[in-house]
Every structure is written in structure tokens, then in C-alpha cells.
């Protein structure tokens, strides 16, 4: 009779997941701080959008939208410094969140400018 091959069982490597310490207080602080920054950026964008709409329609220049758009981008790039002057800490937020805040600023500022340039308001 043929001998049966012996199956050698290799010892399984045991892996144990050890989660990092979670600081709930710091997480909540960063979340609330990010929400405050989002609110401040929204208010700045709305005010700038209304002011730029007033500049566009009261200047009488048809191509005034070009400098207003450049001013919107310039203000977007200066948002981090503006937040520092207002005593907020944008360094607590990660990069993706700040990029989302910049995008929100552009959408709100230019959107309010477009809406308020039309006839029911300044137009």
C-alpha cells in the first residue's frame, strides 16, 4: 500500500488590530472650528458677491465682469490670511476641506454677482 502524504499545517500568523487613541474632544473642536470657518467664508462670499454686482451694474462698463472675476480669485487666494486676521486657525483643517471652502467661496461670490446684476436688483 502507498503511504499517505502527511499534510503539514503551517502555523497561522495572528494579527491583532490595535486602534489608535481617539481624542473625542479634539475631534469635536476641529469639527466646530471647521463649521465656523465655513460660515465666515460664506458670509464673506455673499457680501463680496453683492458688492461686485453693484460694481458691475453701477459702473456702466460692459466688460466690468472681467476685473470682478479676477478680484474674486484674488480674494479666494487671500482667504487663509483673512481668516488668520479674524483669529481663525485654517491650519486645523485638512487640505481637502480648505479646497472645498475655496470652491464654495467662488460659487457663492460669482453666483450672487450674477443673480444681483440682473434686473430685479441692480440691473
Band the pLDDT of 123: cuts 50, 70, 90: low
> What sign does the CA torsion over 55, 60, 62, 63 have?
negative
Does 57 map to a domain? yes
What is the four-CA torsion angle of 36, 37, 43, 47, rounded to 10 degrees?
160
27: its cell numbers = 475631534
Output 49 or 3, whichever has higher pLDDT.
Answer: 49
Check residue 16 and give its pLDDT.
84
Check residue 60 and give its pLDDT.
81
Does 64 map to a domain? yes
Does 28 map to a domain? no
Does 15 map to a domain? no
Check residue 14 and give its pLDDT.
81
CA-based end-to-end distance of the chain = 101
Output 4 or 20, whichever has higher pLDDT.
Answer: 20
Does 108 map to a domain? yes
Does 88 map to a domain? yes
Number of structural domains the chain divides into: 1
Q: Tell me the pLDDT tens digit for each residue of 7-53.
A: 777 777 888 888 888 889 999 999 999 999 999 999 999 999 999 99
* Secondary structure (3-state) at 3: coil
Taking residue 109's Cβ as centre, other Cβ atoms within 10 Å add up to 29
- Averaged confidence pLDDT in the chain: 90
Q: What is the residue range of 105's domain?
A: 46-117
Residues 78-107, mean pLDDT to the nearest whole number: 94
Amino acid at each position: 500500500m502507498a503511504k499517505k502524504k502527511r499534510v503539514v499545517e503551517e502555523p497561522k500568523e495572528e494579527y491583532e488590530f490595535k486602534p489608535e487613541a481617539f481624542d473625542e474632544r479634539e475631534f469635536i473642536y476641529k469639527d466646530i472650528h471647521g463649521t465656523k470657518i465655513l460660515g465666515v467664508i460664506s458670509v464673506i462670499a455673499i457680501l463680496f458677491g453683492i458688492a461686485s454686482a453693484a460694481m458691475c451694474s453701477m459702473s456702466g462698463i460692459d466688460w466690468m465682469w472681467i476685473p470682478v472675476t479676477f478680484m474674486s480669485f484674488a480674494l479666494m487666494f487671500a482667504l487663509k490670511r483673512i481668516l488668520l486676521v479674524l483669529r481663525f486657525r485654517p491650519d486645523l483643517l485638512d487640505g481637502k476641506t480648505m479646497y472645498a471652502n475655496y470652491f464654495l467661496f467662488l460659487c457663492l461670490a460669482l453666483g450672487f454677482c450674477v443673480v444681483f446684476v440682473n434686473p430685479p436688483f441692480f440691473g
